[in-house]
Amino acid sequence: MDLRHTMKGRRAMAAVAVSTGLLLTVSGCGGGDGGDKPKTGSSSSQSDKEGGDDAKQASPTASQNQVLAEVKGENGITLTVTSAKRDQGGFVTVEGTVTNNTDNAWVAADWRGDERELSKNGASIAGASLIDQKGKKKYLILRDTSGRCLCTQFTGGVSQGATTQWFAQFPAPPAATTAVDFQVGSMPPASIEISEG
């Protein structure tokens, strides 16, 4: 009886090995020319996401054509909002750039917010909010379970004369609300239109 069970076990292992080999062969043969094209596109988008120097320099120039609002304050800091999109997940993602026209590096100290939970967010845009004037509501930035904001953190600050991109996510106002004010720190409010994502 032991011999019979041993033989069944060996046959099962052999069948698994053959099946695995066939699956690997089929997946290795698939794709052809079409498989190479997405890799090329994804590697170029991957390098854009990793923030190559060319990508960083090209992005602000490209986004200047789509400026929703621009405000100046804090001794030479310029905040630009380039996008405000309502996503299906029930939130709004706001994106833009900040330019440091001051005489020193800028660390966004008063942009992180006053709430105790936000103190872990360091030099970030965590204190930003959306204000719905018609609905008389203020929407604070979204956070994860550890209190980290769903926003950009300006690690190391922004060098003098530099421009860097930022994003922030908020709960979505009602669908009928399309205009809000974006507010952060002591910057003047920036009136923006929300588009559907």
> Which domain, by its residues, includes 181?
67-196
Rounded distance, CA 149 to CA 116, Å?
A: 12
Say which CATH number the domain at 192 has: 2.60.40
144 pLDDT band (50/70/90 cuts)? Answer: confident
Amino acid at 118: L
Residue 62 lies in a domain: no
Residue 23 lies in a domain: yes
Rounded distance, CA 33 to CA 104, Å?
A: 51
For the segment 127-142, what is each residue's pLDDT rounded down to a tens digit? 899 999 989 999 999 9
Are 82 and 151 in the same domain?
A: yes
For the segment 87-119, what is each residue's pLDDT rounded down to a tens digit? 988 999 999 999 999 989 988 888 887 777 766
Q: Which helix (H) or strand (E) holds 10?
A: helix 2-29
Rounded distance, CA 191 to CA 111, Å?
A: 18
Are 187 and 119 in the same domain?
A: yes
Residue 55 lies in a domain: no
- Across residues 76-81, what is the average pLDDT? 94
Joined together, the tokens standing for residue 136 give 């008389």
- Across residues 150-156, what is the average pLDDT? 86
Q: How many domains does the chain have?
A: 2
Are 99 and 13 in the same domain?
A: no
Average pLDDT of the chain to the nearest whole number = 75
Joined together, the tokens standing for residue 102 give 């001051």
Are 22 and 117 in the same domain?
A: no
What pLDDT sits at residue 183?
Answer: 94
Reference 76, options 111, 102, 105, 103; nearest CA is 102
Are 29 and 97 in the same domain?
A: no
pLDDT at residue 3 above 70? no
User: Which letter does DSSP use for residue 158 in this model?
Assistant: B
